[in-house]
Structure 1
Amino acid sequence: MNLYYAPGACSLSPHIVAREAGLDIDLCKVDLKSHMLESGADFTEINPKGYVPTLQLEGGEVLTEGPTIVQFMAEQKPDAGLLPESGSLDRYRVQEWLNFISTELHKAFAPLFSDASDGEKEEAKKRIGKRFDYVESRLEGKYLVGDRFTVADAYLFTIANWLDQHNIDTSRWPKLQAYQKRVAERPPVREALREEGLLEEK
């Protein structure tokens, strides 16, 4: 399988899931400005949407949209335990989080990655802050759904990493800070970060 990614983008989430599950993937780096691959090929010929993550299966089929890709990956290796049992309440809790992260957190960052005005960016930061207030209030266990790391944690970790990138003070969310540190210490997560050039080795 080929995973098309850009370092530190939302494609980090399925990259983490692939490493957690032990899936054999080939990483294909995308320049999101030019929509070109390192080979010089046009990425939009693979995914006309022009954004990552994109997963190309062995038979040539292509999957897009991060929440779909991470669930597909997890189901290829069910013994990794990245998705609770189908039909269980915990499974729906994971899907609930995936939807919230996608629509309320991920999309809220859009103005910060664009040429929006300073005022629009400040308003976006206020909205982001309110959404992370909610996340902070729900971080009761080790991970989002109890003590079990799931695909939703890979997604939240990825999006929450953008807070520092955009100089959003996280000190008001001590549980989130502890959570981010805990996830970052997982060996598969460190492997994904290292492969994307995002890990500062000491």
Structure 2
Amino acid sequence: MKLFYSPGACSLSPHIVACEVGIPVELVQVDLKNHRLVDSGGDFGEINPKGYVPVLQLEGGERLTEGPAIVQFLAEQKPDAGLLPEVGSLDRYRVQEWLNYISTELHKTFVPLFWNGSEEEKAAAKEKLSERFAYVDSQLAGDYLLGDRFTVADAYLFTVTNWMDRLGMDYSDLARLQAFQKRMKARPGVQEALHSEGLS
């Protein structure tokens, strides 16, 4: 399988999941600003007309897009790794609940900060992110979003929380979230993904 990625972008989440469950993926780096494949110079728009990562290309050539879908697909390939709760269980829907929240309320709120938003848009985004990350912090009662169990949702939360560091946003008052980030960075699968992307 091939994972089309950009270092530290939302594609880090499925990269972490692949490392955690032990699925080897061939990494293909994408220059998102120019929509080109870094090594070959090919047009990324031919890979994903949506214009963004991640894209997982399967052995048969089919392509799967959207991070929350890809992380669930990868976890299902190795169910014994336990990164997704059992089908039909409430915890399974809790993971999907978190994937949706992270995608719509955290991930998308960063857009003006990365893609030339106005000063007003950036200020509004930071205010919303502060509120929403405070909510996440209040829900981290255990080591991970589902308590003691690491799931694909944690890989996604770790990825978007890293963006606060990249942007110099202060979340020192969110002690649980800070502890979560440190805990995640200690995981071998996370370390492997960060190292492969040149982020460690």
Give the TM-score normalised by structure 2.
Answer: 0.98
Matched with 2:173 is 172
Does residue 23 (structure 1) correspond to residue 23 (structure 2)? The answer is yes
1:117 aligns with 2:118: yes
Which residue of structure 2 aligns with residue 107 of structure 1? Answer: 108
- Please report how far the alpha carbon of residue 120 of structure 1 lies from its aligned counterpart in structure 2 after TM superposition: 1.6
What is the aligned partner in structure 2 of residue 32 from structure 1? 32
Q: Name the structure 2 match of 1:191.
A: 192
Listed as ranges, the matches of 1:1-202 within 5 Å are 1-37=1-37, 38-199=39-200
Residue 88 of structure 2 aligns to a residue whose secondary structure is coil
Matched residue type, 2:28 = C
Distance in structure 2 (CA, Å) of the matches to 1:155 and 1:97: 9
For residue 84 of structure 1, report the CA deviation from its aligned partner. 0.5
Once the two structures are TM-superposed, the CA of residue 71 in structure 1 deviates from its matched residue by 0.2
Please report how far the alpha carbon of residue 28 of structure 1 lies from its aligned counterpart in structure 2 after TM superposition: 0.4
Pick which of 140-149 and 151-160 moved more.
140-149
Q: Distance in 2 between matches of 1:3 and 1:81?
A: 22
Structure 1 residues 162-171 or 187-196, which shifts more? 162-171
Equivalent position amino acid for 1:130 in 2: E
RMSD of aligned Cα (Å): 0.7
Alpha-carbon distance in structure 1 between the residues aligned to 2:59 and 2:176: 40
Give the secondary structure class of the aligned counterpart of 1:159: helix
CA distance in 2 between counterparts of 1:32 and 1:185 reads: 29
Q: Deviation above 6 Å: which 4+ runs of structure 1?
A: none
**Offset of residue 119 of structure 1:** 2.1
Instruction: Indicate the SS of the match to 2:150.
Output: coil
Cα distance between partner residues in 2 of 1:117 and 1:35? 23
Counterpart code for 2:115 = S
What amino acid maps onto 2:3 in structure 1? Answer: L
